[in-house]
């Protein structure tokens, strides 16, 4: 069986398992206070080019969204998000569970416009009764979006500016960030990306890790007693090393040998002002395993799209990242059964279905060949 069902069908990138294995017997303190977590945070600060960013690791994406949003919002605030946003639709009400409203905004291809945000907020404050309503307190977007599309640098700048205008944070869900940044349609660097938002997370689960997301607070804006908030929400892993070791491996500069152990490539875990720290050199992010994973996924997705088009399959949504949405005859889908897995998206009509084919670091040319043969 070959699977394009999602970008989390395989386990971890072998490099990550290798480091987990190598470091397995080292006794380490718990709850994310170990040296691998420290190293990984330093590597990430270097990679995103913000020396004083705060980095925190959480096991999964929905948990991350719940924690970031509920700790950064005030009691009276809700979060603005696309009506197709992950927090709006596919998190079983995890944001509402924390007592906050997701305020849905109209979108195009999964993206919300700065003007839509501006209009909403201006309208809100012009309403004399707004003290009776949920205050807009944050803008949530995802990059890539749930539809695999990407905001342009200009679009992000506009969102950044409207958030500045109203003094509210811009939060970017980067569950698939590797595939976004590695896309040929991406017109910004990770540093530019990080500067344009107030907080974002670097997705691990869908980009090569067994689990784990790295939240980056870019402006000294990590909520107070963050560890307590994580614990209170049930999300504090005793063996924080599981996340630290994986992100350490993902973000240490890409190794030519297998060594990414503690002694090598060590960034300054301190103040971040060390001139020699990795990440201050131009182009380092492109040397990370994380970027490499993104590149591989994108290359596979470009080949995948070509196969789909060559087979005359109708593209449902044009996307430059690792998810391809197509509309297919149910009879044709029937032929894939038992050979190729894909993701169900929605019924188009009685005879057609919108499906998703996703690639990842684990997709191989053979997988694509199998798909091409069966289609």
120-179 positions binding a second copy, by CB under 8 A: 123, 126-129, 131-135
Binding status of residue 211 toward a second copy by CB under 8 A: yes
As measured in angstroms, the least distance from the Cβ of 104 to a second copy is: 7
Residues 16-55 binding a second copy (CB under 8 A) are: 17, 20-21, 23-31
Binding letters toward a second copy, positions 48-77, x by CB under 8 A: -----------xxxxxxxxx--xx--xxx-
Taking CB under 8 A as the criterion, the residue among 281, 330, 346, 365 binding a second copy is: 346
Query: In the sheet that 343-347 helps form, which strands lie side by side, from edge to edge?
Result: 314-317, 323-329, 352-358, 343-347
Indicate whether 347 belongs to the interface with a second copy (CB under 8 A). Answer: yes
Q: Residue 117 is encoded by which pair of tokens? A: 């945000």
183 belongs to the binding site for a second copy (CB under 8 A): no
> Cα 311 vs. chain centroid, distance in angstroms?
31
Token match 């997709």: residue? 363
Using the rule CB under 8 A, is 236 a contact of a second copy?
A: yes
Interactions with a second copy, residue window 326-345 (CB under 8 A): 341, 344
Q: Least distance (Å) from a second copy to the CB of residue 334?
A: 16
- Could you say whether residue 92 binds a second copy (CB under 8 A)? yes
Q: How far is the CB of 154 from a second copy (least distance, A)?
A: 29
Residues 151, 166: Cα–Cα separation, whole Å = 21
Instruction: Give the separation between CA 175 and CA 205, rounded to whole angstroms.
Output: 7
91 binds a second copy (CB under 8 A): yes
Task: Determine the Cα–Cα distance for residues 37 and 154; give it in Å rounded to an integer.
Answer: 34
Binder of a second copy out of 164, 225, 306, 369 (CB under 8 A): 225
Q: Is residue 366 a contact point for a second copy (CB under 8 A)?
A: no
CB of 64 to a second copy, least distance (A): 8
| Residue 109 found at the interface with a second copy (CB under 8 A) | no
Residue nearer to a second copy on the CB measure, 94 or 188: 94
In sign, the C-alpha dihedral spanning 294, 181, 142, 324 is negative
CB of 320 to a second copy, least distance (A): 23
94 binds a second copy (CB under 8 A): yes
In the chain, beta strands by DSSP E:
2-3, 54-58, 77-82, 102-105, 135-142, 170-174, 199-203, 213-217, 314-317, 323-329, 340-341, 343-347, 352-358
Query: DSSP string covering 220-267, please?
Result: S-PPTTHHHHHHHTT---S-THHHHHHHHHHHSBPPSSS--STTSSPP
Pairwise CA distance, residues 196 & 172, whole Å: 10
Interface segment toward a second copy; rule CB under 8 A; list 48-56, 150-158, 224-232, 312-320: 224-232
Nearest approach, Cβ of 28 to a second copy (angstroms)?
6
Q: Is 370 within 8 Å of 339 (Cβ atoms)?
A: yes
The answer to whether residue 219 forms part of the interface with a second copy (CB under 8 A) is no
Q: Nearest approach, Cβ of 33 to a second copy (angstroms)? A: 10
Does 259 interact with a second copy (rule: CB under 8 A)?
no
25 neighbors 194 (Cβ within 8 angstroms): no
Q: Is 369 in the site for a second copy (CB under 8 A)?
A: no
């Amino acid at each position: 069986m070959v699977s394009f069902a999602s970008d989390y069908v395989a386990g971890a990138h072998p490099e990550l398992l290798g480091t987990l294995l190598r470091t397995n017997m080292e006794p380490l303190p718990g709850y994310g206070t170990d040296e691998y977590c420290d190293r990984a945070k330093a590597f990430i600060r270097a990679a995103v080019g913000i020396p004083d960013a705060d980095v925190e690791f959480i096991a999964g994406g929905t948990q991350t969204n719940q924690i970031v949003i509920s700790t950064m919002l005030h009691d009276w605030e809700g979060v603005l998000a696309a009506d197709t946003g992950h927090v709006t639709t596919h998190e079983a009400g995890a944001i509402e569970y924390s007592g906050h409203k997701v305020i849905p905004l109209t979108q195009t291809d999964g993206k919300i416009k700065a003007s839509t945000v501006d209009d909403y907020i201006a309208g809100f404050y012009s309403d004399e009764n707004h003290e009776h309503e949920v205050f807009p307190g944050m803008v949530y977007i995802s990059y890539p979006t749930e539809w695999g599309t990407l905001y342009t640098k200009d679009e992000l700048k506009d969102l950044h500016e409207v958030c500045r205008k109203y003094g509210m944070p811009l939060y970017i869900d980067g569950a698939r960030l590797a595939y976004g940044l590695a896309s040929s349609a991406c017109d910004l660097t990770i540093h530019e990306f990080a500067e344009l938002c107030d907080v974002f997370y670097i997705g691990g689960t869908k980009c090569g890790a067994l689990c784990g997301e790295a939240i980056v607070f870019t402006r000294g804006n990590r909520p107070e007693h963050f560890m307590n908030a994580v614990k209170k929400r049930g999300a504090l892993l005793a063996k924080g090393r599981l996340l630290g070791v994986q992100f350490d491996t993902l973000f240490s500069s890409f190794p030519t040998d297998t060594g990414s152990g503690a002694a090598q490539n060590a960034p300054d875990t301190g103040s971040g002002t060390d001139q020699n720290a990795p990440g201050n050199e131009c182009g380092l992010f492109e040397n990370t395993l994380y970027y490499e994973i993104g590149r591989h996924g994108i290359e596979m997705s470009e080949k995948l799209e070509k196969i789909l088009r060559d087979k005359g399959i109708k593209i449902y949504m044009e996307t430059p990242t690792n998810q391809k949405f197509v509309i297919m005859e149910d009879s044709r889908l029937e032929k894939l059964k038992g050979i190729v897995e894909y993701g169900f998206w929605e019924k188009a009509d009685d005879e057609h279905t919108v499906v998703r084919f996703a690639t990842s670091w684990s997709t191989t040319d053979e997988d694509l060949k199998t798909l091409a043969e069966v289609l």
